[in-house]
Structure 1
Amino acid sequence: MKILLIGSGGREHAFAWKITQSTHCEELYIAPGNAGTSTLGENVSIEVNDFEKLGSFCLKKAINLVVVGPEEPLVRGIRDYFEASDELKDILLVGPGRLGAQLEGSKDFSKQFMARHGIPTAAYQSFTKETLEEGLSYIRQQTLPIVLKADGLAAGKGVLICNDFDEACAEFEEMLLKGKFGTASQKVVIEEFLTGIELSVFVALDGSDYVILPEAKDYKRIGDNDSGPNTGGMGAVSPVPFADEAFMQKVRDNVVLPTLLGLRKDNIPYQGFIFIGLMNKAGDPYVIEYNVRMGDPETQAVLPRIKSDFVELLSSIATSTLCQYTLGINPFTAATVVMVAGGYPDAYEKGKHIQGLEESSQTESWVFHAGTSTDESGVVLTNGGRVLGITGKGEEMQDAISNAYARVNQIQWDGVYYRKDIGQDILQVIK
């Protein structure tokens, strides 16, 4: 197959790495890609939301399969664009249409969907600038802490957890009146705070059937011990020890199946991945959020654990034949540490020379590029907030964590930062 992979982050590098292991991959193009993906296929200088150029490229190269990595082109309707074209409509595509993508594109939409279909989630109400006073009053009626969520896409940073009422009211006003998260916070969801342990469950959907992929736990805050502001993700581990068969059966029965049936009932076609952010609350799963694609950096910990052919999985999603696909899982554990630019998630500098990327004697790890580029001489430079994701593998979780950090310690650039505690909470659970 000739495959076009859309995106430029760590998730897309991991996808490219897995896709090129398949005998079904004849040619791989990545738009726009990064320094890492350029070693696996051909990077194409087309932005993820330029549907016209992406479509023209698919026709020029006779692309058979399009795989959409990030959420924004999905929310903007890339599938709808392809399906509306007589020339493009027969190209296989992994990713939901605009309507299904609203499960991530609008927190209010997703909460209404969950309420409508009896999917366990936190209590909530949504407010706009016009209902500001009602929202302030609602905040005062809640139990601390209080969760505020920007309704729209905010690059993983639109969630605030406030520990007192004055802080919550001030942040609520800043989101609605001052556009703290731009147009994403034109509507704000005020949500009950759930206590428990978070995990991410990834599901492949083809409209009729589903396959649950290996679960993961990610680390969203910038600082050790989950301190500081939210980021797009600072690390991940897979598997998650408390996600045993009994818990995962609850996830299937109470979350995954009702989601699939809800999509059908609401006449929302869905062929793609859905990432379900869950809270394990006293042994029961509650949905924190839906994402309509694979997670980043969780993908870098999940994909190495998939033993079966990944292109066959992608093709099965796009052709609604998941019932014929058998998922194989490698028995090892994986841990991913994200290395970021100094200052992230706030202002940061680009263009720093990354040292230590050469082949290493440390073979129990992989380096996935996220925010990277190359200069004219081929030197790899930082080109984003999250720069690299280093994934270690091991028979036990401690081994995977140690192998990840061993490789992290071999890589350097001016201002590099990473969390030192990825997976430590999981080790405490195992003990």
Structure 2
Amino acid sequence: MNILIVGSGGRESAFAWKIAQSPQLNQLYIAPGNAGTGRYGKNIALKVTDFDGIADFALGHGIDMVLVGPEEPLVKGIHDYFLEREDLRHIPVIGPQRAGAQLEGSKDFAKQFMVRHGIPTAASQSFNQTTLEEGLAYLGTQKLPIVLKADGLAGGKGVLICTTLDEARTELKAMLADAKFGEASSTVVIEEFLSGIELSVFVLTDGDTYKVLPAAKDYKRIGEGDTGLNTGGMGSVSPVPFADNEFLDKVEERIIIPTIEGLKKDGIPYQGFIFLGLMNVGGEPYVIEYNVRMGDPETESVLPRIESDLLDLLQGVAQRNLQDRSFTLSPKTAATVMLVSGGYPGTYESGKTIDNIESVKNSIVFHAGTTTENGVVKTAGGRVIAVTALEDTLFDALQQATADAGRIYFEGKNFRRDIGFDLI
């Protein structure tokens, strides 16, 4: 098979690494890819939203499947684009159509979906610019802290936890009246704050049946001890010790099955991954958010634990016979540590030379924000490299990944040395 992966981050690096191991693979292409994905296939200089360019490439290179990594092309309708063109319809796209992608593209849509189908989630209400005064009044009736969420895609920055009423009202005005997050905050969801511990559960579905992939826990804060600003993710672990079989059975019964059935009831076709951002509140699961793709850096911890052929599962989605496919999991634990640019998640510099990657022998190095200039690997983003170790115990995996993260060097490099230690 000839496979095209759309995307350029650590998630897409992990997909490329895993799919490159498939005996069914002929050629692998990554658009646009990064300095690391070229090890597993051929990078193609196309933007993820250049649907015409992606289509021309797919037709010209006999692509048999398109795997979409990031959310933006899904929300903008790359799957619909392929279905609408007669010459492209035969190429399956792994990732939902625009209607299903609204689960991530609109927090308000997702909330209404959950309420409609009885899926446990925090109480909430949505407001826009014309109902700002009502929103300000509503805040005065709610417990603190309170959560404000920009309705649309805001690059992971559109969620605010406010601890005082003054702060909440100031931020609501900034989001609705001053477009703090641009078009993404033209509607704001005001949501009850849930106190618990977060985790992510991943589901792959062909629209009728599903497979539950390994759970993971990621670490969003820039600073050790979960302090400082939110980031796209500083590391992850899989499996999650507190997500035992009893808890995961609740997730499947109360959340996964109603989600799949709800999509069918609403007439929303869905072929691809569903990322369940969950809160464990005293042993009870609640949905914080849906994402319509795999997480990053969770993918870098989840995929190394899948021992069987990922491409076989993806074909099950494409051919709508996922129930006939199976996969095997490693009993080992994966731990991922993310190396980031100095200053991230604020202002940071790119173009720093990365040294010593080849010294990492006992972990997998997944490139995220990297590029190659004249054969030299350089930084090209806030999150630069994910280092994943797969070991018998969580402690050993964390120790190995942290040690190997220290071996790689670039000017301003920063990483957390405490990923996962709250779980030991």
TM-score by length of 2: 0.99
**Aligned equivalents of 2:183, 2:224: Cα separation in 1:** 30
Give 1:416 shift. 1.0
Letter matched to residue 356 of structure 1: N
* Contact persistence 1:354–1:382 (CA under 8 A): yes
* Contact persistence 1:22–1:311 (CA under 8 A): yes
Partner of 1:370: 368
SS of 1:252 mapped into structure 2: helix
| Alignment counterpart, residue 407 of structure 1, candidates 404, 408, 412 | 404
**Aligned equivalents of 1:8, 1:395: Cα separation in 2:** 30
SS of 1:358 mapped into structure 2: helix
**Aligned equivalents of 1:411, 1:359: Cα separation in 2:** 8
**Aligned equivalents of 1:115, 1:166: Cα separation in 2:** 29
CA deviations over 1:312-351 (Å, ceiling 9, x no partner) = 0111111111111112101100111111111111211110
Which aligned pairs between 1:279-358 and structure 2 lie closer than 5 A? 279-358=279-358
Partner of 1:128: 128
Partner of 2:84: 84
Q: Which runs of 5+ in 1 are unaligned?
A: none
**Aligned equivalents of 2:172, 2:48: Cα separation in 1:** 31
Q: Which runs of 5+ in 2 are unaligned?
A: none
Partner of 1:190: 190
Which aligned pairs between 1:25-424 and structure 2 lie closer than 5 A? 25-360=25-360, 362-363=361-362, 365-376=363-374, 378-424=375-421
CA deviations over 1:266-314 (Å, ceiling 9, x no partner) = 0000000000001111111100000000000000000000011111011
Partner of 2:2: 2
SS of 1:409 mapped into structure 2: helix
Letter matched to residue 394 of structure 1: E
**Aligned equivalents of 1:177, 1:343: Cα separation in 2:** 29
**Aligned equivalents of 1:238, 1:382: Cα separation in 2:** 27
**Aligned equivalents of 1:185, 1:313: Cα separation in 2:** 36
**Aligned equivalents of 2:224, 2:168: Cα separation in 1:** 24
SS of 1:420 mapped into structure 2: coil
SS of 1:242 mapped into structure 2: coil
* Contact persistence 2:20–2:40 (CA under 8 A): yes
* Contact persistence 1:159–1:230 (CA under 8 A): no
Give 1:227 shift. 1.5
Considering only aligned residues, what root-mean-square deviation do their CA atoms show, in Å?
0.8
CA deviations over 1:230-270 (Å, ceiling 9, x no partner) = 11111110000111111111001000000000000000000
Letter matched to residue 344 of structure 1: Y
* Contact persistence 2:359–2:407 (CA under 8 A): no
Give the percent of matched residue pairs that are identical in Structure 1 and Structure 2. 60
**Aligned equivalents of 1:356, 1:184: Cα separation in 2:** 40
Give 1:359 shift. 4.1
Partner of 2:23: 23
- Count how many residue pairs are aligned between Structure 1 and Structure 2: 424
Letter matched to residue 401 of structure 2: A
Give 1:90 shift. 0.7
* Contact persistence 1:275–1:291 (CA under 8 A): yes
SS of 2:286 mapped into structure 1: strand
Give 1:96 shift. 0.3
Give 1:5 shift. 0.3
SS of 2:31 mapped into structure 1: strand
Letter matched to residue 334 of structure 1: A
**Aligned equivalents of 2:327, 2:352: Cα separation in 1:** 40
Give 1:177 shift. 1.8
Letter matched to residue 167 of structure 2: E
Give 1:64 shift. 0.3
Letter matched to residue 418 of structure 1: F
Which of structure 1's runs of 4+ aligned residues deviate more than 4 A?
none
